[in-house]
Amino acid sequence: MAKIHFLNVDEGDCSIIQHDNGKVTMIDICCGNIIEQQPSIVAFCKESANSVKGNFNMKAYPTNPVEYIKRWHMPSIFRYIQTHPDMDHMDGLKNLSNTISIMNFWDTANTKVQSFDEHGNCGRYKKEDWDCYQRLRNSVDNPKSLIFYDGTVAKYFAEDDNGVLSDDYLKILSPTKELIKSAESAEDWNDSSYVILYCVQGRKILFCGDAGMGTINYLLEKHQTDISDLDVLIAPHHGRDSDKDFSFLDVMKPKLTLVGNAKCQHLAYNEWNSRGLEHIQNNQGANILIDIHNNGEMHVSCSNKSFADAYRLEYFKKVGAIKDSRNMGYWCLHYREVGK
């Protein structure tokens, strides 16, 4: 059974895939330097259990991905994917590297230069993480540093020598050399992001990093079949509006979208609401876990019981009963303690 973890990491990104074959893929890290604070029962129950609307305030209780991995007893990371070189996607990278073995490190051929103040800080981010990133991206072994582009296939993440899909099938849809060059010219690294399609048990999950409209337009032109009718979309750029043309949702038609943390005035959740597309934010559900069973059933749970209870109640009101999960693509949210 494959598992996708979408972690509550403040205004940053971190997703983890536990593949059927036991390998672990980690995509970005944020909040890897914090001391976790678990919300009190009062905080968990702040919102009424009669509605999913409102501020559940889970952003105030971010998860440290390094501690999360320990709780889940993941012994190593087979591949770490640095989607692009922005600090909110590598916050805590040094702690991760010092704590857990990383076998392969995916990077992009970017030339970004990051500045820091005299104390080695860039806002809340640390120079030690940037220095660790430079070390890892130049590593020859332990980990092995790798750079891939759209269309790259290998037996370790796509097909074996006989053309059979591997258990941890990942399809690289972006970046291209042209997109990276454009990002460099604009000094905006979002369109240099990896975009990864994960296919398992007939399900399609799309990880978008901070992809901007340059990348999204490329996907619509070159990979429309790949990105159509998704089961799960990890919203690009934390779900921020970012001057996007959200008509791409009419192609992707995700059954469920997972939205990161951003200031509410920047979130484009109305683009999902107006299309009747289900979405869950970290600020609502905190850590979100998707179990994909061997028969293709997809179960969704979160670590905020108050939101899970409210979501389930509203779901029952809408559909009257739990319907077949293969047809629905997911079903009502369940509560699951962090690390269980």
Tell me the CATH number at 307: 3.60.15.10
**Spatial distance between the Cα atoms of 258 and 76, rounded to a whole number of angstroms:** 25
Cα–Cα distance list, 171 to 36, 150, 211, 266, 292 (Å): 34, 8, 16, 30, 18
Q: What is the DSSP string of 211-276?
A: --HHHHHHHHHH-HHHHSS-SEEE-GGGGB-TT--GGGHHHH--SEEEE----GGGB-HHHHHTTT
At residue 304, does pLDDT exceed 70? yes
At residue 325, does pLDDT exceed 50? no
What mean pLDDT is reported for the chain?
88
pLDDT tens per residue, range 268-295: 888 999 999 999 999 999 999 999 988 8
Cβ–Cβ < 8 Å for 266, 243: no
Residue range 207-234: average pLDDT? 97
pLDDT tens per residue, range 44-76: 555 445 577 778 999 999 999 999 999 999 999
pLDDT tens per residue, range 127-161: 999 999 999 999 999 999 999 999 998 878 876 55
Axis crossing angle, helix 177-186 with helix 213-222, rounded to the nearest 10: 160
Go through 297-331 and write b for each residue having 16 or more CB atoms within 10 A of its CB, e for each that does not.
bbbbbbbbbbbbbbbbebbeeeeeeeeebeebbbb
Beta bridge partners of 6: 15, 288
Task: For the chain, give the percent of residues with pLDDT over 70.
Answer: 88
Q: Which one-letter DSSP state was computed for residue 182?
A: H
Predicted local distance difference test score (pLDDT) of residue 167: 63
Residue range 198-213: average pLDDT? 95
Predicted local distance difference test score (pLDDT) of residue 329: 43
Structural domain containing residue 274? 2-335
Question: In degrees rounded to 5, what are phi and psi of residue 301?
Answer: -140, 165
Q: How many domains does the chain have?
A: 1
179: Cβ contacts below 8 Å, ≥ 6 apart: 191, 192, 214, 215, 218
At residue 21, does pLDDT exceed 60? yes
At residue 232, does pLDDT exceed 70? yes
Beta bridge partners of 276: none
Most confident among 19-23, 37-41, 333-337 (mean pLDDT): 19-23
Go through 13-35 and write b for each residue having 16 or more CB atoms within 10 A of its CB, e for each that does not.
bbbbbbbbeebbbbbbbbbbbbe
pTM exceeding the 0.95 threshold for the entire prediction: no
Domain assignment of residue 141, yes or no: yes
E strand segments, the chain? 2-6, 15-18, 24-27, 76-81, 101-107, 121-122, 125-126, 144-147, 170-174, 195-200, 203-207, 232-234, 256-259, 279-281, 288-292, 298-302, 334-335
Cβ–Cβ < 8 Å for 166, 155: yes
At residue 328, does pLDDT exceed 50? no
**Spatial distance between the Cα atoms of 198 and 290, rounded to a whole number of angstroms:** 13
Domain assignment of residue 47, yes or no: yes
Please identify which residue in the block is written with the tokens 């990942």: 170
Which of 93-102, 253-262, 282-291, 310-319 is predicted least confidently?
310-319
Residue range 74-99: average pLDDT? 97
Q: How confident is the model at residue 331 (pLDDT cuts 50, 70, 90)?
A: low
Domain assignment of residue 340, yes or no: no
